[in-house]
Amino acid sequence: MSAPLLEARGVDLHFGGVQAAKDVNLQIFPGEFFFIIGQNGAGKSTFLNICTGYLKPQRGEILFQGRPITGLAPRAITRAGIARAFQHPQLFMQRSVRDNLRFAVAAHGTGFWRPWRALDDPHFDAPARRLLQLCDLERVAAQPAAKVAEGFRKLLDVALALALEPTLLLLDEPTSGVSSADKHGIMTTLAQALRKERVTAVFVEHDMEVVRRFADRVGVWANGQILISGPPEAVLDDPHVREFVL
């Protein structure tokens, strides 16, 4: 197998008495969709927050493409090629979906600091258009983010991350807060977009249907620890997992 893209080694983090990460060891390989499952408070978001530099582990190491990134600031980690989408979409709510994307494009590319290059310049607009199409957001492009349905916000949150042309994308519950009817549509759109952009992805997900359908591998979190990880069939049908986690 190829070298891991992301590797966690013995990561520990506690908030006061709560152990949110406990000796977490994990390898994520290029091209795979890894799904993290587990009950509320299991430490799933905490793990993603550690990987993106939002939280600093008290012990252990995170390696990205073989280089340690433990404790780097979110901005440095973003620049290194890890992007994220949030459990609660973090969007520029008063601005149009299109402007949100143009800004993300500008943030990533060249020309951000050139005052004479407006945000609606084709230099930013052309990649933004492509992302609108890729993430199925064309219909709502002109609307302010605050006005569109939650499903579109979730997609936009991911699209902003994709504008950075990341190597690895961490998605914290990309379908939470969306009706179960819309979930599969959103996941299909996202999965296609990620495959097309050749982005490796780590998802946090509560819906086992979704996990079964889209996961290459699954890891089960409980009390900050990884109980078991492996292919979805093996993990989801494990009697222990069925009893305690699902």
Ligand X SMILES: Nc1ncnc2c1ncn2[C@@H]1O[C@H](COP(=O)(O)OP(=O)(O)OP(=O)(O)O)[C@@H](O)[C@H]1O
Site of interaction with Mg ion (CB under 5 A): 45
144-203: contacts with another protein (CB under 8 A): 160-161, 163-164
State the minimum distance, in angstroms, from the CB of residue 195 to Mg ion: 25
Q: Which is nearer to another protein, 148 or 236 (CB)?
A: 148
Phi then psi for 146, rounded to 5 degrees?
A: -65, -25
State the minimum distance, in angstroms, from the CB of residue 186 to another protein: 20
Cα 36 to Cα 12: distance, rounded to the nearest angstrom: 17
Total residues interacting with another protein, rule: CB under 8 A: 35
Interaction of residue 129 with another protein, rule CB under 8 A: no
Among 2, 40, 66, 113, binds another protein (CB under 8 A): 113
Cα 153 to Cα 72: distance, rounded to the nearest angstrom: 28
Cα 131 to Cα 137: distance, rounded to the nearest angstrom: 8
The DSSP element (H or E) to which 9 belongs, if any, is: strand 6-15
Interaction of residue 20 with ligand X, rule CB under 6 A: yes
Which residues have CB under 8 Å from 11's CB, separation 6+?
Answer: 21, 23, 24, 25, 47, 50, 57, 59, 60, 61, 62
Q: Report the partner that residue 229 touches, choosing among Mg ion, another protein, ligand X, none (CB closer than 5 to 8 A by kind).
A: none
Alpha helices in 52-114 (DSSP H): 74-80, 97-108
Q: For another protein, which stretch binds (CB under 8 A), given 96-104, 192-200, 209-217, 230-238?
A: 96-104
156 in Cβ contact with 101 (< 8 Å):
yes
Among 112, 180, 240, 244, binds another protein (CB under 8 A): 112
Contacts 24+ apart (CB under 8 A), 2-5: 2/29, 2/30, 3/66, 4/28, 4/29, 4/63, 5/29, 5/30, 5/64, 5/65, 5/167, 5/168, 5/200
Q: Pattern 34-53, binding to ligand X, x per CB under 6 A?
A: ----x-xxxxxxx-------
Interaction of residue 18 with ligand X, rule CB under 6 A: yes
Interaction of residue 49 with another protein, rule CB under 8 A: no
Residues forming contacts to ligand X in the complex (CB under 6 A) are 15, 18, 20, 38, 40-46
Residues forming contacts to another protein in the complex (CB under 8 A) are 52, 73-75, 78-79, 83-84, 90-95, 99, 103-104, 106-108, 111-120, 124, 160-161, 163-164
